[in-house]
A = this chain, B = another copy of it.
Amino acid sequence: MSSANQVKKTGNIRAKSKVKILTAARTEFVLQGYRGATVQSIADRAELPKANILYYFKNKENIYHAVLEHTLQMWDEGIGDIEANEGPKVAIEKFIAAKVRMSFKHPEASKIYAMEIIQGAQHLKDYARTYQRQWVREKAKLFQQWIDSGEMVNVDPVHLIFLIWSATQHYADFETQILTIMNRADFEEDDVEQVIAFLCDIILRGCGLI
């Protein structure tokens, strides 16, 4: 008991501090990029002394890795899933909805991920090379089966996945541009469902599913 208790109590302080730091770091990395975000700026945002930051994370790269790990977790969850037995229409609908909801809920995660990829994905090459590639191949095969059985129009499954990824993530990554063009200060709850409806409508029809 004492051992478990100790771990829990000490772990609490660690955990809380780490969350505080990572939240601040995430924002700084999005706003300033990896190099532009300084340990001092992260400390200021977290309202902690700089040395305290480096007590919990050995160095700046360490902080970034932790942020990135959380980001990939979001991406995985948000990637939705495409199940074979649902048929193409429901599968694509669910997939789009999951990705759009994730974009509106965790725009910062999407932005950090996007910046990583744009800059050459040096911190997560293996992730795409192994996990993502396999995921795409698997799901593409599923789409191909639906195409072969005449359940949907003949479109390249891999590019279809790219299309859905790009269209959904756009609302997170290009938030600023979209809001400016729509002359709005923030997104509202209605927007999420409206975007889902729009994307499902046009993409499903594009796949010959409406």
Residues of A within 8 A of B (CB): 30-36, 111, 114-115, 117-121, 125, 128-129, 132-133, 136, 153, 155-156, 158-160, 162-163, 165-167, 169-171, 173-174, 176-178, 180-183, 194-195, 198-199, 201-203, 205-208
Contact = CB atoms under 8 A, between A and B. Distances in A.
Contact of A206 (B32, B156, B162, B202): B202
Contacts of A136: 181
Top 5 A-B pairs, shortest CB-CB distance = A35-B36, A33-B33, A206-B206, A166-B170, A202-B206
Contacts of A169: 166
A118 B203 contact: no
Nearest to A165: B170
Majority secondary structure, A binding face: helix
Most chain B beta-carbon neighbours within 10 Å: one of A34, A36, A133, A163? A163
B198 A121 contact: no
A118 B160 CA distance: 24
Given A114-B114, A128-B177, A202-B207, A33 B31 contact: no
A173 B35 contact: no
A163 B100 CA distance: 13
A125 B170 contact: no
Contacts of A181: 128, 132-133, 136, 158
A170 B162 contact: yes
A116 to B, nearest CB: 9
Contact of A163 (B36, B121, B125, B199): B199
A155 B199 CA distance: 9
A102 B158 CA distance: 21
